[in-house]
Amino acid sequence: MTSVPPMAVEQPPIFHVEAERTPLQEAVASELGEGLASSGFLVLPSQMEGFVQTGEPKESVEVVNFGTGKKPCPTPVTVRTVPGALVAPDAAPMVCPCCGGAMERHGEVAVTLWHLPMGMDRTRVVVSRQRWACASGHTRIDDVPFKAEGHRVTVPLLNYVRDLLSLGQTLKSVSLMTGLHKNVVKEIDRARLEGLYTEVGEDGGRRLRRPGDQARYLGIDEFKLHDGHRYATVVVDLETGHVLWLAHGKRKQVVYDFCDFVGDEWMSRVVAVACDMNASYERAFLERHPHLAVVYDHFHLVKNFNEKVISEVRKDEQRRLREEGDEDAAKSLKGSKYILMTRADTRLGKDRDARAGKVVSRGNELFGKDEARQRGGNRERYEELIAQNELLSTCDIVKEALAKAYAYRQEKRMRDCMEGIVEVCRGTGNEHFEWFANLVEGHMDGIVAHARHRISSGKVEGTNNTIKSLRRAGYGYPDDEYFFLKIFDASRRYSPGRESVAA
Ligand SMILES: [Zn+2]
C-alpha cells in the first residue's frame, strides 16, 4: 500500500496591505529611521520646546521594588531611552561672557533627564548639548530649556508630579508612578508648597503668605502634635475651610502673632471667632480687637460634655457597680460609651433603618461573610441604660437640651435654655456635672452669641480630621514645617495644571 500524501490544505489568502506611506511617515522614516515609521510606534508632541529626537528609543529593563524594605516586591520595568538634541540656537556667533572673545564649537556634552512615563514604562531623554570654548580657555554649554531647575527631570514630568501631589497622592505612590526617588518627589512637593503658601519677607527669610481673601468668620482650635504632648494651633476661615495660620503652642501668643500677620485692617472686617472654652484664645482676640464676637460653638461644647461628663459618669458608675458585686450591670455599661454619646435622632434613624432591613455590610460568598443588617433596639437599649441610672438619664436630658439651645436664633431663648441646663446640672450634686455647669456659666455670653452668629463648627471638625489623617499618612514626624504646609494644602483644592511651572 502506498500511502497517500496528505492533501495540501489550501491556505486562505493573506491580504497584505501594501504600506503606502503617508507624507508624515515618509518624513519620519527619512528623518528618524525606518523603525519609527513602522507598526507599533506613536509619534506624539514631546511637550519639550527645543527638543529634537535623533534616533529610535532603546529599551532596557530595570528591576524596581514596588514593595517595602521588609516585604520587597521586585518587578521588572521597561525603561525607554530616547536620544535627542537641542534645536540649533541662533546662528549668531557665540560671545564669551567672561572675556568677550568669539567662541568656537568644542565637542558635545550629554545630559539624561527623566520624562513623562507611558503607563508603568519609564521614559528618559538623552540630550546632547553643544559645548563652546573661547581662545582664553573659557567654556560654556548650551542650556536645556525644558530641564526642571535643580532636578534631572523634564519640565513636563515636573508638572505631572506637581499635579499628582496637588490631587493628594502620597510621596510613595508618586514615586512609584513616575520612577523618581521618594526624596526627589518630596523636594518637588516642598518647593510646590513653599511657592503656594510662603513668600520672601523683608529680612530675606521665608514667611507665610497672607490670605488673599477676606474672612468674616474664623475658627481657632488646637491639635496634638506627633508626640501627643505638645500642641499646635490652627486658624481656619469658617466659610471656605481654608487653613490661614498654624503655629506651635496653644498660648495667647499664637493669637497675637496671627493678628500681626493679617494686620489690623484685615482683622477689622472679621465679624466673629469660634473657639473652644478651655483655651485662652478668647481673651487674646478681645484684647487686640474688642469689636469681635467670640462664639463658643456647639461642636466644642458637646465635645466637652462627652469627654468630661458622660465618659466620666459612665466610668464612675461602672466602678461602683463592680464594687457592689453587680458584674453583669457593670458589663452592660462597658460597651455603652458610643450609644450614650449619640443623639436621639441618630438612634431613631438607626432603628428605622433596622425596621426597613437596611444592609450595613453587604455579605459576600468570596470571603464567606454573611450580610449584616442594621441592628434595631437602639432606643430600648439606650432607655434601659438610662433608666437604670439617674445620672446617665440626666446626661441624656442635657445633651438633647444643648441641641435645642443651639437651634435658637434669639439670644434670650437660648440663654433661658442654657440656664435651664445649668440648673439641671447643679441639681445632680455630681462633681462632673458641677464642672460643666461652671464651664457654661463662666462662658454664657460667648455661648449665647451663637444665636446671633450662627457659625457652623463643621469646618473646624473637618480640619481636625484632615490633620489626623495626614499624621496617619506619615507626613508628621520629623518635619513639622512640611507637615504644616501639607495641612494648608489639604484644606484647599487645586485643579491639575493650575500650578504648572513654565518651561
Ligand atoms: Zn573667554
- Ligand 1 mean position, distance from CA 360 (Å): 77
- Ligand 1 mean position, distance from CA 131 (Å): 13
- Ligand 1 mean position, distance from CA 291 (Å): 67
- Ligand 1 mean position, distance from CA 393 (Å): 90
Judge whether residue 459 has pLDDT over 50.
Answer: yes
- Ligand 1 mean position, distance from CA 107 (Å): 16
- Ligand 1 mean position, distance from CA 132 (Å): 10
- Give me the pLDDT at residue 216, please: 95
329's grid cell: 450591670
Q: Please compute the mean of the pLDDT values over residues 236-263 and round it to a whole number.
A: 90
- Ligand 1 mean position, distance from CA 89 (Å): 19
Ramachandran region, residue 47 (left: φ > 0; alpha: ψ -120 to 50; beta: rest)? left
- Ligand 1 mean position, distance from CA 134 (Å): 5
Judge whether residue 3 has pLDDT over 60.
Answer: no
Distance CA 455, CA 466 (A): 20
Judge whether residue 383 has pLDDT over 50.
Answer: yes
Going along the chain from its start, the domains and CATH numbers come out as 23-147 (no CATH), 210-297+456-490 (3.30.420.10), 310-451 (no CATH)
- Ligand 1 mean position, distance from CA 100 (Å): 6
267's grid cell: 482683622
Q: In 3D, which of 308, 339, 343, 320 has the Cα closest to residue 437? A: 308
101's grid cell: 572673545
Higher pLDDT, 324 or 439: 439
- Ligand 1 mean position, distance from CA 87 (Å): 24
- Ligand 1 mean position, distance from CA 94 (Å): 10
Instruction: Kindly report, residue by residue over 121-178, the tens digit of the pLDDT.
Output: 999 999 998 889 999 989 988 889 999 999 999 999 999 999 999 988 999 999 999 9
- Ligand 1 mean position, distance from CA 99 (Å): 4
Judge whether residue 18 has pLDDT over 60.
Answer: no
Helix, strand and coil content of the chain, in percent to the nearest 5, comes to 45, 20, 35
> Would strands 231-237 and 217-224 be described as parallel, antiparallel, or unpaired?
antiparallel
Instruction: Kindly report, residue by residue over 163-181, the tens digit of the pLDDT.
Output: 999 988 999 999 999 999 9
> Would strands 103-118 and 121-134 be described as parallel, antiparallel, or unpaired?
antiparallel
Angle at CA 247, nearest 5°, toward 241 and 253? Answer: 115
Judge whether residue 479 has pLDDT over 70.
Answer: yes
DSSP assignment of 65-117, as one string? E-S-SSS--EEEEEEEEEEEEEPP--SSPPB-TTT--BEEEEEEEEEEEEEEE
Instruction: Kindly report, residue by residue over 195-239, the tens digit of the pLDDT.
Output: 999 999 888 888 888 888 899 999 998 888 876 678 889 999 999
Out of 24-33, 96-105, 384-393, 413-422, the most confident range is: 413-422
Residue 197 vs residues 29, 369, 487, 489: alpha-carbon distances, Å: 49, 48, 11, 8
DSSP assignment of 451-482, as one string? GTS----HHHHHHHHHHHHHHHTT-STT-HHH
Where b means 16+ CB within 10 Å and e means fewer, 247-282 reads: beebbbebbeebbebbeeeebeebebbbbbbebebb
